Amino acid sequence: MRAALTRGLLAAALISPLPARAEVQVPTGPAVGIVSQQEGLEAWDRIFAVVSHPRCANCHVGPSDRPMWSGDSYGRTRPHGMNIRAGESRIGAETLPCATCHLGKNSDVAHSPPAVPDDWRLAPVEAHWFGQSAPTICNQLRDPALNGDRTYAELAEHLGHDVILHWAWEPGGTREPAPGTLHSHMEDILVWGAAGMPCPQ
Ligand code: HEC
Ligand code: HEC
């Protein structure tokens, strides 16, 4: 009954555009050349606090096909319960699709499956952040071969329209949101980029 209702809601959502978590405009960043290396590194520290946060890193697991359960609301860090495997498809197509449980709408019920109005799935293998150091993630994000062939401005733009990650600031249940806001995170990317994308040693 509940599943049928949820499917009905999902069908309705596919027909009518979703008001929540729509595209977010990229703020105007500083011009290249006016941001010091030091300010760039400070922006990187704030970026790292976001990308290494469980709300981001639990999906950014790299070559593993196992999403992670970590952060305060999970108690201890461990791979996703119920032996969930994302497979090469990253959406569980080979075994149990993520969308079986992670349906279009988030809920505030503790420990219910989080959801977004997009296919819930793992991030690309190249964007491996879980358990990785700041220099490693920094180098991945500034390398076009590993970041989806994007300039820093395109990275900020991607953040604006990738609704999956908007969830991290509105995660539902008792989950702790990612630090700051999506807007401040985009601004930090633009400051870091304008400084030449400096990475810590
Ligand atoms: C539900 C899983 C999930 C969560 C949570 C998540 N991501 Fe992702 N992320 C993805 C997927 C899937 C892609 C690939 C989507 C695409 O390229 O359109 C992606 C791609 C990216 C990219 C593209 C760059 C690259 O290196 O490929 C960035 C940047 C990114 N995510 C940032 C974040 C940030 C910041 C957070 C937390 C605030 C976050 N993500 C949380 C699944 C997730
Ligand atoms: C059988 C149901 C089910 C399936 C299938 C499922 N999940 Fe989950 N998932 C859950 C539940 C329930 C939670 C929340 C548990 C909690 O909060 O204690 C969760 C939480 C998560 C989290 C943690 C989010 C966070 O930071 O709080 C990630 C990441 C995740 N799932 C990824 C996936 C991916 C990727 C797939 C498909 C490969 C998948 N899940 C398939 C039920 C499922």
User: Would you kindly state where each structural domain of the chain is located, as residue ranges?
Assistant: 29-194
Of the candidates 148, 163, 157, the residue with the CA atom closest to the CA atom of residue 190: 157
- Residue 21 confidence class, pLDDT cut points 50, 70, 90: low
In this prediction, residue 7 carries a pLDDT of 47
The number of helices, as runs of H, and strands, as runs of E, in the chain is 7, 2
- 135 membership: H or E segment, kind and range: helix 134-142
Instruction: Check pocket membership of 147 for ligand 1, CB cut-off 6 A.
Output: yes
> Distance from CA of residue 120 to its chain's centroid?
11
In this prediction, residue 15 carries a pLDDT of 40
Nearest CA to ligand 2 atom 16: 111
User: Per-residue pLDDT for 55 more than 80?
Assistant: yes
Q: What is the pLDDT of residues 56-83, one digit of tens each?
A: 999 999 999 999 999 999 999 999 999 9
Nearest CA to ligand 1 atom 37: 56
Of the candidates 74, 70, 73, the residue with the CA atom closest to the CA atom of residue 56: 70
Crossing angle between the packed helical segments 182-194 and 37-51, to the nearest 10 degrees: 140
Instruction: Check pocket membership of 92 for ligand 2, CB cut-off 6 A.
Output: yes
How far does the centroid of ligand 2 lie from the alpha carbon of residue 6, in Å? 17
Instruction: Check pocket membership of 121 for ligand 2, CB cut-off 6 A.
Output: yes
Nearest CA to ligand 2 atom 36: 98
Q: What is the pLDDT of residues 126-177, one digit of tens each?
A: 999 999 999 999 999 999 999 999 999 999 999 999 999 999 999 999 999 9
Instruction: Give the chain's end-to-end CA distance (angstroms, integer).
Output: 55
How far does the centroid of ligand 2 lie from the alpha carbon of residue 124, in Å? 17
Nearest CA to ligand 2 atom 12: 113
In this prediction, residue 23 carries a pLDDT of 82
Using an 8 Å Cβ cutoff, are 47 and 179 in contact?
Answer: no
Instruction: Check pocket membership of 55 for ligand 1, CB cut-off 6 A.
Output: yes
